[in-house]
Amino acid sequence: MRMHEVSGATETIEAAPAKINLALHVTGQRADGYHLLETLVTFTEAGDVIRIRDTDADSFSISGPFGDLLSAGDGGNNLVTRARDMLRDALASTGQAVRPVDIHLEKNLPVASGIGGGSADAAATLRGLLRHWSATIAPEKLASLALKLGADVPMCLASRPLIARGIGEDIEAFTDLPELFMVLANPLKAVSTPEIFRRLQNKANPHLPAHATIGWMDFLDQSRNDLQPPAQALLPEIGEITGLLSEEGAALVRMSGSGATCFGIFHSFDAAKNAETSLRKKRPGWYFQATRTI
């Protein structure tokens, strides 16, 4: 796993890898409105970074290519500060007092783009703070806390290939997935996740194929992202991106999550890097990133 994890006397660094939905099937809807999903998820070397230092009073700051799209301050609805506060409260309830921290978020991923940026940041904050504070928490309590932060946070907490079911809390490790080389692509235009779900014509679609009986590429070929058609209807650039990735020779192209980030899987990292270079020339105002899974 190529996750950058550094602990020292003055700083703890925790990677927040991008979450890629290789497949996402919408299989039902609960009475409370939450949609039931089955999704094959992997994580990439591309991602945000959380840096934690001791300080006299809690503080939070943001930098990076997409840092100006978020509000820092200290508090509000940012998932990083919410994760900090919720974890501190949970630890206090077990008698573990923890010191104030300065948390810095290096925002390298596009915001609200279907690759788990905010959820990955929250999960990295939980992991990083537990290491920084040398604190312990029961796994089931940590899982519950993660789910309260968001449906994607439990899987981002794991940050390894997995299949998630339910609303994202029922997680099964997926051990057969090889290292994948891919290009992430986003037109830097937002799409509304609630509107995508509203436009979803069928909310009780077939489940993921039985992965134990077929190879991983066949598994991907037989799966899909049920949110891609309504997302593409809302944002035609998604269709343009998938076409561009296919033109560059990607073996498989699909949208991740509720979009608008799409990915293309290539046969080597060099091929992915070459595709990234070509795509940046074709659409210089869009986001392209060659990466590999961890």
Rounded to whole angstroms, the maximal C-alpha distance in the chain is 58
Q: Identify residue 187 by its one-letter amino acid code.
A: P
Peptide bond preceding 260: is omega within 30 degrees of 0, i.e. cis? yes
Partners of 14 in the beta sheet?
5, 50
What is the number of residues in the chain? Answer: 294
Whether 161 contacts 173, CB under 8 Å: yes
Q: What is the CA radius of gyration of the chain?
A: 19
Residue tagged active-site, from 48, 121, 152, 226: 152
Buried b (16+ CB within 10 A) or exposed e, 201-240: eeeeeeebbebeeeebeebbeebbbbbbbbbbebbebbbb
Task: State how far the Cα of 82 lies from the Cα of 122, in Å rounded to an integer.
Answer: 8
Active-site residue, 273 included:
no
Active-site residue, 19 included:
yes
Residue tagged active-site, from 19, 48, 107, 226: 19
4, two tokens: 């950058």
CA dihedral for 278, 283, 284, 285, sign (positive or negative): negative
194, two tokens: 């609630």
* Catalytic annotation, residues: 19, 152
